[in-house]
Structure 1
């Protein structure tokens, strides 16, 4: 399979999107099974709702004429759209949920009557009176007192029947059937899926203007927030006559709700799982190596990392993993639990996705970008030879008696462009980035900080990529103006040297480096990455348009040289990326080991482990980036990439229902 097509065969799943049709849509395989699944789900939910109506609504009513009847408009909640992976695996669905809600504006006006009503609720639900009183006087209750405020949820049908009977005479209290969001996959997709929750009080006016009712639950993070308007659907309502206690007496009219659209993600759950497992193995080795250092003196070690897999042709993210992670179901309750408090206070900050919300120095995975710029500017050719004696010594421009030594990681001897990348020589890239005046009188012109900054920004560094998830960090591409404005100091040659090897002030996200690797692989297109593939409409998936952020200002022949150098880095006998190449597949890769933190007594630093790569070499399909907070690019991060490539090119057989959640036949509340 070396360099050829991957032959990625997978037995059909239920609701698996099939290859593109001629009209640009994607056909969903086995439509009859999909329709059957949907019909069964709707029938089951309809049956449960009807049972609830029989028990909770159709109770004896007041005799006609005993009291004046009033017209009430009761909203009908729209079923929120499902979220599925690219193969049709349901990742987020709706399940029926019984709740007790209090309408502050319908409580008795006098303090004694109000307190008595809330004491009834306390007696029958166990919710403390103090909590009930606080709910009636804070948040959304202060904006619209006629909006029901949920105070108790998560009980079964029999309890709902009992509560409706017990609280029937309590004014302002209703027992409702709502929809609760249920997420599959445990902590595999918590950041990507996000969660829904109550409308924040500070955003109430904005949501009201958009046609929301204030007791709706809306997307708070992840795709639930980004695609809120598509997933939400449209509320319906029914008009009824009700007696003074709020009991329905007669149905007048109804406008049905319109279900939200089903969102299909680009994520491949099988590959996401394999990527997460590979990342954990890499974190183990990097963490153990950091622990073994006797010079640490009890300094903290953070066991965190990330990995991204991107389709180099479309920009679709096939896997985007962060460790540690969290289960989105943790946020399904009304009030914070011990689990939510633990998440919010965890020093490892599991709510932060390390692939796109946190930045680090990239180290030597930055070198292919510098090399491409040097080729384009004529600073180097494939044959440009530079000798590395293990270090470079530079005299201070302010005091010639002061010298600075810039080290290589070893003495390499004479290297051409390919050898400079294969051996990841720092001295070679000191020359390309900052230039050097040799003691023998020869001079080598480097790119300089301004040209480096100009080029690497074209790769997508220094700004958010446009990912369709909230909170993306942009990182920093420094230049002389930035340093002057930030520190009040001029940019010096040493700054350029450290920038040229991916250190110093430069910071990136793993996602940005995956996008950059994809641009090298696909011939220069800088793609906008996304986790949403499209929306399911009937039997089809309407794909979102492919987005190109820009084209690299680098000639095709120069990108080919960089690709070849990355291939030699992965499959050559001296390449630092050899551990990243899987059996039978030729890749292009680059390792990075970025120093950070304080210098230890042995003059060494802790290091981040990085790896970027693309495959197959001849016809690239995917690119990836791996980041380990502690570790080596060659020893720890590269094997993670190896395992990810192996999983991609050797997919498992179909595993319908493998997510750690109840059966995924949902679709209605």
Structure 2
């Protein structure tokens, strides 16, 4: 009996144990179903719902872009010689994703030391691109051989840094033609924001001045690059796609390199400008302005010494050939034309000149304080008589004088293909009333007729003025791009043949027996006009504009010296002569 009870108890205990094990198995199955179901659901969610985003995140770590900037188009002179080209140098690039790595602070510090760039500047460029950007970003250009060696020596500590070769802008003649060519530089933040829609990107260079800026879209070219797959160490495994960069187009200028050198040599270290132009169609043959700059300094990171040198120069980026100054007696060309075309004077008119003209209680002196006796238009131009042209200006009145100044293009931009051109200024009665609250007096006409007062004319506008008698009565539009269609660039002023003849006679007499005798040389016949412009309390400006050969002009040259003192014939006349003689030597080569 006891044995039966014991067995019954054992079976009951066994039955209870068996039931518990079943419940454990059921519980395990349920828990497993929940676990694997959750994992499956998560995997399904990641794949089906978040799949695109996760694939993109994976690609950002695996697929990268190596951009290839285009080679910028060359700028050539009229004979095909390179004024702005390209040379190959080494640049340093950085994968923005490297900024996520723990060693990033050490990478930045080492790069900054080798490249001599502030760490904050490197960090700023990465932040501009964005640390998730798949593209390389340039952080230094035109690095030295020593820097290349240093980067290679520290390669193991520079994760995400690449060194590659690319085209770098190069100006083989240094400062020669700087104000024509301009310079290039990387886009700043404002420029980048404005041009993103045109395909520009971080690290792009752009023309900042001169022809480089005017013809940016022509010279620029189209970016190319490679899409590559990299491993965990950033090493390229394979190339996924490639687009070849398309170089920019070359442009040919009307400028002659030899003549440009001659113009800059003639100007020397004197603040001012020289413009040489073909009077038949307005093609610019040379355009010099001093002080200048070396555009090569902007093609790579500027040194402190270069920056300090620029600070010592007096406004080196101002193209003085395009800025307005009092034209002084060179303006008498306009006054002569206005007088002859007005019908109030004939080609045979003779006027008495005086020591001074008096009006409104003021005396307007001739420059020699004695006058030149009776003179016609040609003789008055030769001797630059203030009292002769003062009488002409007073008689024709401000309306006619202002009208002809504007018909010659003064008071408005010439339209030359360079940025930064000033329009100059032609005062008139309305301006005087609005500015000073008073009317126009005879004295105002006297002052304007001899190129003084508020009148402002640029050396380029003066060249356009001298081109009118030189080409027989056409106003030309100055341009730097070489063209074979002269009619496109000129407009007839419908001058009477007698007007052109008298003015040309006077400009020739300026050289043969007047204020421009320094240009009276046997090898070429030159015609022209001098000018001395007041700029109190500073020394006055000096001018000379001329053309040659006098009987069949091929070149107009205007020289301007800022606050030079002296006389236009003695200061600027020899400059014009040097450029004309250089042209005669090189025109057939």
TM-score range, shorter chain: 0.7 to 0.9
Q: Does 1:420 align with 2:420?
A: no
Residue matched to 1:354? 320
Counterparts of 1:12-411 in structure 2, within 5 Å, are: 70-104=62-96, 106-109=97-100, 113-122=103-112, 124-137=114-127, 140-141=128-129, 148-155=136-143, 160=148, 163=151, 166-167=154-155, 170-280=158-268, 303-335=270-302, 337-343=304-310, 345-346=311-312, 348-356=314-322, 358-394=323-359, 396=360, 403-410=361-368, 411=371
Distance (whole Å) between structure 2 residues aligned to residue 145 and residue 425 of structure 1: 71
State how far apart, in whole Å, the 2-side matches of 1:144 and 1:516 are.
59
Which of 617, 636, 655 is equivalent to 2:550?
Answer: 617
Aligned in 2, Cα 1:168/1:483: closer, same or farther, shift over 3 Å? Answer: farther
Preserved contact between residue 582 and residue 643 of structure 1 (Cα < 8 Å)? no
Can you give the 5+ residue segments of structure 1 that lack an aligned partner in the other structure? 1-66, 284-302, 397-402, 435-445, 535-542, 599-604, 655-669
Give the SS at the match of 1:418: helix
Q: Which residue of 1 aligns with 2:15?
A: none
TM-score (ref. length: structure 1): 0.74
Query: Which is further off, 498-507 or 619-628?
Result: 619-628
Q: Is there any run of 5+ residues in structure 2 with no aligned partner, and where?
A: 1-57
- Give the match for residue 45 of structure 2: none
Distance in structure 2 (CA, Å) of the matches to 1:503 and 1:209: 48
Aligned to 1:3: none
Provide, for residues 449-496 of structure 1, a one-character-per-residue CA deviation record: whole Å limited to 9, x for no partner: 121111111111111111111111111011011122223332221111
The aligned counterpart of 2:502 is 561
Count of paired positions? 527
Q: Show the counterpart of 1:57.
A: none
More helix by share: 2
Is 1:503 matched with 2:449? no
Per the TM alignment, residue 635 of structure 1 is displaced from its structure 2 partner at its CA by 1.6
CA displacement at 1:156 relative to structure 2: 5.1
Does 2:589 align with 1:650? Answer: no
2:559 alignment partner, SS class: strand
Residues 258, 131 of structure 1: alpha-carbon distance in 2 compared, 3 angstrom cutoff = closer
Structure of higher CA gyration radius: 2
- SS of the equivalent of 2:544 reads strand
Change (3 A) 1:92 1:347: closer
Q: How does 1:460-475 map to 2 (within 5 A)?
A: 460-475=409-424
TM-score by length of 2: 0.83
Quote the offset at 1:308 in angstroms: 0.6
What does the per-residue CA deviation read over 1:200-226, in whole Å, with 9 as the maximum and x for residues that have no partner?
A: 210112221111222111111111111
Please identify, of 503-512 and 240-249, the stretch whose mean Cα deviation from structure 2 is larger: 240-249
Q: CA deviation at 1:128?
A: 4.2
2:396 to 447, 460, 463: 447
Please report the RMSD computed on the Cα atoms of aligned residues, expressed in angstroms: 2.6
> Relative contact order: is structure 1 or structure 2 higher (C-alpha 8 Å, sep ≥ 6)?
1
Residue by residue over 1:252-306, the C-alpha shift from the partner in whole angstroms, topping out at 9 and shown as x without a partner, is 33221221111212111111111222222xx7xxxxxxxxxxxxxxxxxxx4111
1:508-552 Cα distance to aligned partner (Å, 9 max, x none): 110100011112211222111122226xxxxxxxx6876436332
Q: 1:73–1:259: structure 2 CA closer, same or farther, 3 Å change rule?
A: same
